[in-house]
C-alpha cells in the first residue's frame, strides 16, 4: 500500500513538469531497435515541438510516420552541424521549440548533438532531455562484467596512429571499457584489442532489443576464434574487462626500474627526496618505510 503511494507520488504526471516549453531544445532519446521502447514523453514532445532536427530526415521520417507524427524537419548531421547548428539555435532563440533526434538512441552520445548543446549552453538557451535507450548503457547492464565503474570509448579511430595511442592509453585502465563497433570492422578490432590487452574477458552485445539480439560472453581469444567461423552481423557494443592489479603493475612506467631508480625518477622531475619516496611507495602499493629502507641502504 505504502509502496503504491510512493510510486504515485514519484510518477503521477505533473502537468507543469510535462509542458513542452517554447524557446527550448529537447534532446529526445529514440529506440535502438525495438520501437516499443519509445517513451510516452518522447512522443508527446515530438508531437508538440515546432520542428524536429534529425540526423537523417528519411530515417526519422519513418519513425515519426510509424507513430503518426507530422512535423517540419531539418537535417542536422556531422557535415552540416556548424552552420545548421547556428540556424537551429537562432530559431529556438526566436521562440520555437525544437526536438533533436538521431538514427537511434540518445543524441550526443557518439551521435550529433554535443555541438548544438554547447552552442545553447554558450547562449543561455534552455536544453532539456527526454531520456531514451543508450546502446552503451544497455550493453554494460547485460554484459555480466563489472558495472560499478566504466569508461566509454565510443568508436575507435580508423587512423592507425590514433588507434594505437588510444589503446595504449587504456592499458592500465581498471574500469570496464565500452566500445562501439560496426560489423565490417569487428574482426580487426578484436585482433587489435587482443594485441593491446592480452586475453581479457569481453561481452559482445549485438542487435540489442532487435529480433536477433545476442550477447556473447567470452574471452578475446574465444571471440576471435568464433568470428573466424561466423560472419559478424548487425550493430555491436563491446564490453571489455579492465586491467587487473597485476596487469597494472606489469604495465606501469616503473615496472623495469629498481626502487632506487623509481625514487630518482621523481627526484629528477623536481620532487624532494621524501616526497619521491612517498610517491614511489604509493605507485608500488607498499609502505613508505619499505622504500626508505631500501633507498637508504644503498
* Residue ranges binding ligand SAM (CB under 6 A): 32-33, 102, 104-106, 109-111, 134-136, 180-182, 205-210, 235-237
The least distance separating ligand SAM from the CB of residue 298, rounded to whole angstroms, comes to 53
Residue 68 to residues 55, 91, 210: CA-CA distances in angstroms?
A: 19, 25, 22
The least distance separating ligand SAM from the CB of residue 57, rounded to whole angstroms, comes to 16
Considering the complex, state which of residue 133 and residue 263 has its C-beta at the smaller distance from ligand SAM.
Answer: 133
CB 58 within 8 A of CB 77: no
Count the helix, strand and coil residues of the chain and give each as a percent rounded to the nearest 5: 45, 15, 35
> In terms of Cα–Cα distance, which of 87, 80, 83, 78 is closest to 112?
78
Which residue's C-beta sits nearest to ligand SAM? 105
The least distance separating ligand SAM from the CB of residue 180, rounded to whole angstroms, comes to 3
- Paired with 240 in beta bridges are 177, 202
Which residues, including other chains, have CB under 8 Å from residue 101's CB and lie 6 or more apart? 28, 30, 46, 52, 53, 54, 55, 60, 63, 107
Considering the complex, state which of residue 187 and residue 249 has its C-beta at the smaller distance from ligand SAM.
Answer: 187
The least distance separating ligand SAM from the CB of residue 31, rounded to whole angstroms, comes to 8
The least distance separating ligand SAM from the CB of residue 183, rounded to whole angstroms, comes to 9
Considering the complex, state which of residue 19 and residue 182 has its C-beta at the smaller distance from ligand SAM.
Answer: 182
CB 125 within 8 A of CB 93: yes
Considering the complex, state which of residue 64 and residue 205 has its C-beta at the smaller distance from ligand SAM.
Answer: 205
Cα 163 to chain center, whole Å?
Answer: 17
Considering the complex, state which of residue 154 and residue 272 has its C-beta at the smaller distance from ligand SAM.
Answer: 154
Considering the complex, state which of residue 50 and residue 235 has its C-beta at the smaller distance from ligand SAM.
Answer: 235
> In terms of Cα–Cα distance, which of 224, 213, 298, 230 is closest to 263?
298
* CA 123 – CA 25 distance, rounded (Å): 12
Considering the complex, state which of residue 76 and residue 292 has its C-beta at the smaller distance from ligand SAM.
Answer: 76
The least distance separating ligand SAM from the CB of residue 208, rounded to whole angstroms, comes to 4
The least distance separating ligand SAM from the CB of residue 233, rounded to whole angstroms, comes to 11
E-state strands within 17-114: 25-28, 51-54, 73-75, 98-101
Amino acid at each position: 500500500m505504502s509502496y503504491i503511494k510512493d510510486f504515485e507520488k514519484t510518477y503521477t504526471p505533473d502537468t507543469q513538469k510535462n509542458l513542452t516549453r517554447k524557446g527550448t531544445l529537447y534532446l529526445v532519446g529514440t529506440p535502438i531497435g525495438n520501437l516499443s521502447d519509445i517513451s510516452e514523453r518522447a512522443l508527446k514532445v515530438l508531437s508538440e515541438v515546432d520542428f524536429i532536427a534529425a540526423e537523417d530526415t528519411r530515417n526519422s521520417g519513418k519513425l515519426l510516420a510509424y507513430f503518426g507524427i507530422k512535423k517540419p524537419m531539418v537535417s542536422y548531421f556531422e557535415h552540416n552541424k556548424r552552420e545548421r547548428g547556428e540556424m537551429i539555435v537562432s530559431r529556438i532563440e526566436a521562440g520555437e521549440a525544437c526536438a533533436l533526434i538521431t538514427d537511434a538512441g540518445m543524441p550526443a552520445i557518439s551521435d550529433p548533438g554535443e555541438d548544438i548543446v554547447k552552442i545553447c549552453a554558450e547562449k543561455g538557451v534552455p536544453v532539456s532531455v527526454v531520456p531514451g535507450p543508450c546502446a552503451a548503457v544497455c550493453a554494460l547492464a547485460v554484459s555480466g562484467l563489472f558495472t560499478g565503474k566504466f569508461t566509454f570509448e565510443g568508436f575507435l579511430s580508423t587512423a592507425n596512429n590514433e588507434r594505437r595511442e588510444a589503446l595504449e592509453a587504456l592499458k592500465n585502465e581498471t574500469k570496464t571499457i565500452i566500445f562501439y563497433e560496426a560489423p565490417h570492422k569487428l574482426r580487426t578490432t578484436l585482433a587489435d584489442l587482443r594485441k593491446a590487452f592480452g586475453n581479457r574477458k569481453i561481452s559482445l552485445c549485438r542487435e540489442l532489443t532487435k529480433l536477433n539480439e545476442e550477447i556473447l560472453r567470452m574471452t578475446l581469444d574465444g571471440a576471435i576464434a568464433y568470428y573466424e567461423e561466423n560472419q559478424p552481423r548487425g550493430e555491436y557494443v563491446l564490453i571489455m574487462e579492465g586491467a587487473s592489479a597485476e596487469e597494472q603493475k606489469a604495465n606501469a612506467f616503473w615496472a623495469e626500474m629498481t626502487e632506487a631508480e623509481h625514487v630518482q625518477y621523481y627526484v629528477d622531475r623536481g620532487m624532494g627526496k621524501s616526497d619521491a619516496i612517498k610517491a614511489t611507495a604509493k605507485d608500488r602499493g607498499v609502505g613508505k618505510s619499505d622504500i626508505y629502507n631500501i633507498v637508504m641502504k644503498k
